[in-house]
Chain A
Amino acid sequence: MVTSILHRATGVVLALGSLLMVCAFLSLAAGPEQWAHFSAFARSPLGFLILFGWSWSLAYHLINGIRHLVQDAGYGYAIATFVRNSWISVFGSLLLTALIWVLAMMQRGGA
C-alpha cells in the first residue's frame, strides 16, 4: 500500500521537478549570465535539497515503475513476492540514489 502511494507522490514530485528542468534548458539557451544564475541556485543548499529529493524520487519511481510493468505482464502477485518486491523498490531506490551522488561527487572531484 505504501509503495503504491509513494509511486504517486514521487510522480507528482517528478512532474514539479520537470518544470525546474525546463528552467535549466531555458537558461542554458538564454546565455552564460542566465546559466550562471541557474547553476548558482542549483549549488545552493535549497538547490541541493531539491536535487537530492528529485534524484531519490526518480530512482524510486523508476524501479517501482519497472515493477508495475512486470505486474502488468501478470507476474509478482503472490503475497511473498509482492512484499519482497516492495522492499526491492525501497532499498533499490536508496542504493541507486547513493550511486548517482557518489558518481556525481567523483566527477566533481575529477573535474
Chain B
Amino acid sequence: MSASNKRLRTPLKNARGLGSAKDGTHHFVLQRITAVALVFLSLYVVGLIISLVGDDYATVHAAVARPCNAVLLIAFLIATFWHAKLGLQVIIEDYVHTPWSATVLHLANIFICVLAALASVLAVIRIALGA
C-alpha cells in the first residue's frame, strides 16, 4: 500500500469486488452463463418443436420422453427461468422505484419463475418416466 492512500479500505477489499450488496458480479456472471447456455439450448428446442409440427399426442409424448431430449429440455427450462428471473429483476430495479411496488414485484418475479421452473421440470420428468 502506498503512503498516499488515505482510504481505510485495504486493496484486497476492492479486489474481492464485494460492495454494499455483498454480491459483487455474481448477478452479471450468472446472466451471461445462462445466456451462453440458452444460445445453444433455445436453437435446439426450436429445432425439436419444428420437427414435431403436425405430429399426434403419442409421437410428441415419446419424443419428450427420450432421455436425451428430456435432459436437454430440463436444462433449457432451468436456464430459461433463471435467465428470466435475472432479467426481469433488472427491469424492475430500473423502472419501479416505489418501495412497496418494487418489493411485491421482486417477490412475485422470484416466486413465479421458481414455480414455473419446478412445475415444467416435474412435467417433463413425469413424461420421461411414462406418466
Chain B residues with CB under 8 Å of A28's CB are 57, 60-61, 64, 123, 127
- Total of A-B residue pairs, C-beta within 8 Å: 83
Report the interface size for chain B: residues with CB under 8 A from the other chain.
36
Question: Which of A65-73, A75-83, A85-93 lines the interface with chain B?
Answer: A65-73
Q: Is the interface of B mostly helix, strand, loop or mixed?
A: helix
Does residue B69 face the partner (Cβ distance < 8 Å to A)? no
Q: Specify which of B39, B87, B123, B126 is in contact with A11 (CB 8 Å cutoff).
A: B87
A32→B91 CA distance, assembly (Å): 38
Q: Assuming A28-B60, A104-B49, A108-B54, what are 6 further A-B pairs, CB within 8 angstroms?
A: A15-B88, A22-B119, A35-B61, A69-B32, A111-B53, A111-B55
| Chain A residue at minimum C-beta to C-beta distance from B80 | A18
Is A32 a contact partner of B57 (Cβ separation < 8 A)?
Answer: yes
Does residue A12 face the partner (Cβ distance < 8 Å to B)? yes
Q: Is the interface of A mostly helix, strand, loop or mixed?
A: helix
| Chain A residue at minimum C-beta to C-beta distance from B125 | A29
Interface string of B60-80 (1 = CB under 8 A from A): 110010000000000001001
Q: B5-54: which have CB < 8 Å to A?
A: 32, 35-36, 38-39, 42-43, 46, 49-51, 53-54
Q: Specify which of A8, A35, A68, A100 is in contact with B60 (CB 8 Å cutoff).
A: A35
